[in-house]
Amino acid sequence: MKVSGRNQIGGRVAKVERDGLMAKVTIDVDRCTMTSVITGDAVDDLNIKEGDQVSALVKSTSVMLMK
Amino acid sequence: MKVSGRNQIGGRVAKVERDGLMAKVTIDVDRCTMTSVITGDAVDDLNIKEGDQVSALVKSTSVMLMK
Amino acid sequence: MKVSGRNQIGGRVAKVERDGLMAKVTIDVDRCTMTSVITGDAVDDLNIKEGDQVSALVKSTSVMLMK
Amino acid sequence: MKVSGRNQIGGRVAKVERDGLMAKVTIDVDRCTMTSVITGDAVDDLNIKEGDQVSALVKSTSVMLMK
Amino acid sequence: MKVSGRNQIGGRVAKVERDGLMAKVTIDVDRCTMTSVITGDAVDDLNIKEGDQVSALVKSTSVMLMK
Amino acid sequence: MKVSGRNQIGGRVAKVERDGLMAKVTIDVDRCTMTSVITGDAVDDLNIKEGDQVSALVKSTSVMLMK
């Protein structure tokens, strides 16, 4: 299965923080860190845990640029 | 000035493609590539050109995970 | 591979409209129609054509409600 | 009043889960379920309750495709 | 009908620019200007023209802050 | 530093509500109020407090219109 989102960035889960409905997942990607806020349900469904290899998926229309 | 968006990923503009109202900017980030779709106005306003150092800015609530 | 996005709605591609950088894909889903605007690159990468079975993927934080 | 968002999907509220600032609303739509994460204020403002008929509103630029 | 999106900002359409699939609508709001990129279909469906009173609708999870 | 997001709306922080991972910030902007939901980390990082002058940053592709 392929996804249309153009940004699929591989990394390793560094931290999973749960809080009621939501969860914040921090991912180590090369020299930087990415942060994803998803539902707790999604963390359970994908069984996301520290150390897991995951991909951060971002639609290109959600990416702003700073210069 | 600081921005609340938690994902600020530095990279070098590899390509700028303009098409009417919109523009697609491809950024080389370490071992991967990011794609941003923004307005042509924004490309003009920030004077974004191939070779520029930029940061891709993504809100954490816009980041999904795949596993 | 699983995706954290909670909304994954299956349907059949009814129409693909390309226009420069962007593409609009219309999907027949049961009694309603969904519209997705993605990059032309994504349409090529996934080889999306009329008649294809696809899933519309939407993050729960991108869904508003009207009542 | 009309809204520009192209995806307006009618359904019945199956569940409302509140948790501090945020709320998760699950909607039964034909054969599938949609999930919306909105603020608790919005749930109060629209008085969203189980059994209500609502429409899920999604901008076409927020819809990815999987194939 | 009410919408869950917490940001509903009234203003007057200053300019509508069409380009293939997409359209950019500029709105005068008090002392500032807002920009919306929507589909051309939406502009036709809502018959959006210069001078129209409209509201810009933004989900609170789509609003970043700069300081 | 400039940001590509076309909507940068200045205002004064009226209220900051923290709740676990997330925070809701209400901003007084001329005659209206804007609401932003960001991570608590971002509130700490930018040291956002009542009375602060901030800008609400919204990508044009995240702005719907109502008429």
Class of domain D1-49: mainly beta
| Distance of alpha carbon F24 from alpha carbon B2, whole angstroms | 18
Task: Give residue limits of the domains in chain A.
Answer: 7-55
E21 at B interface, C-beta within 8 A: no
Do C4 and A38 lie within an 8 Å CB cutoff?
yes
Interface test with A, best of B2, B58, B59, B61 (most A CBs within 10 A): B58
> Given A35, A54, A65, which is nearest B46 (Cβ)?
A65
Residue F39, exposed/middle/buried by CB under 10 A (0-12, 13-18, 19+)?
A: buried
Q: Are D51 and D12 in contact (CB under 8 A)?
A: yes
C54 at B interface, C-beta within 8 A: no
Percent of chain E clearing pLDDT 90 (strictly above): 96
Do B3 and E64 lie within an 8 Å CB cutoff?
yes
The CATH number corresponding to C7-50 among 3.40.630.30, 3.30.160.100, 2.40.50.100, 3.30.465.10 equals 2.40.50.100
Q: Are B38 and B23 in contact (CB under 8 A)?
A: yes
State whether ipTM is beyond 0.95.
yes
Do D5 and F35 lie within an 8 Å CB cutoff?
no
Instruction: Evaluate whether the domain defined by A7-55 bears CATH number 3.10.310.40.
Output: no
One-character DSSP codes across B37-65? EEEHHHHHHTT--TT-EEEEEE-GGG-EE
One-letter amino acid for residue F5 of the chain: G
The predicted pLDDT at position A50 comes to 98
A20-54 residue pLDDT tens: 999 999 999 987 899 999 999 999 999 999 999 99
| Distance of alpha carbon C27 from alpha carbon C47, whole angstroms | 15
> Given F22, F62, F67, which is nearest D22 (Cβ)?
F22
The CATH number corresponding to F7-47 among 2.40.50.100, 2.40.128.280, 1.10.3720.10, 3.40.50.850 equals 2.40.50.100
The predicted pLDDT at position C11 comes to 97
What's the distance, CA E67 to chain centroid? Answer: 24
Instruction: Evaluate whether the domain defined by E7-48 bears CATH number 2.40.50.100.
Output: yes
The alpha-carbon gap from E44 to the nearest alpha carbon of chain F, in Å, equals 12
